Amino acid sequence: MNKRVILASASPRRQELLKYIVKEFEIFPADIDETLPEDIPAEKCAEYLAVRKAGYISGKFPDGIVIGSDTVVIVDGEILGKPADNEEAVKMLKKLSGKKHMVVTGVCICCGNVSDSFSCRTDVEFYPLSDDDIMEYVSTGEPMDKAGAYGIQGRGCLLVKGIEGDFFNVVGLPTAELKRHFDAFIKTYGGNDRI
């Protein structure tokens, strides 16, 4: 593969997972306005942002293959992003306590003016959480850079009763599905001699 592959994300979790698909890639986080259109369905928000991120970085590197991604947590129709502070993290975890919620990761692969995007959904159920459970977890600092204020791959696993769907999607990148989209993208848009 001759083209450079660029991940438009600073997430160490996404970087680690992308290594299963691409051995060598560069990292250029997309600093974009993440304001969402008012009429967009909650389940489409992550893919919308992934497309914007990939498009922004692709504009800087039009010959590269750019992968953009975004993850949102949705509970009772409300999108939970990354908490701004400990107080917001506590509020988010109280909303998730004892409930099922959706984790949707949107991904976009982009090269020049050609792109492919998709969303992956995983349903996650939390155990009922006491105030002590929540405060103990928030005090670790782990919730602060994660959508929904938890990381399933870390101490957040102690909050989770069960999941339906792709575990790695909850971590931040639906790796197996992305591998299939990535391979098809390369095959469709030029083969190994061009990409």
Give dist(CA 49, CA 42) in Å, integer.
12
Residues 6+ apart with CB under 8 A from 162: 124, 125
Residues 6+ apart with CB under 8 A from 117: 47, 50, 51, 54, 106, 107, 108, 109
Catalytic residue from among 70, 131, 166, 183: 70
Collapsed DSSP state (helix, strand, coil) of residue 21? coil
DSSP state, residue 35: P
Separation in Å, CA 173 to CA 16, 17, 75, 90: 10, 7, 20, 25
- Nearest 5°: CA angle at 11, between 9 and 12? 130
User: Catalytic annotation on 70?
Assistant: yes
Residues annotated catalytic, as ranges:
70
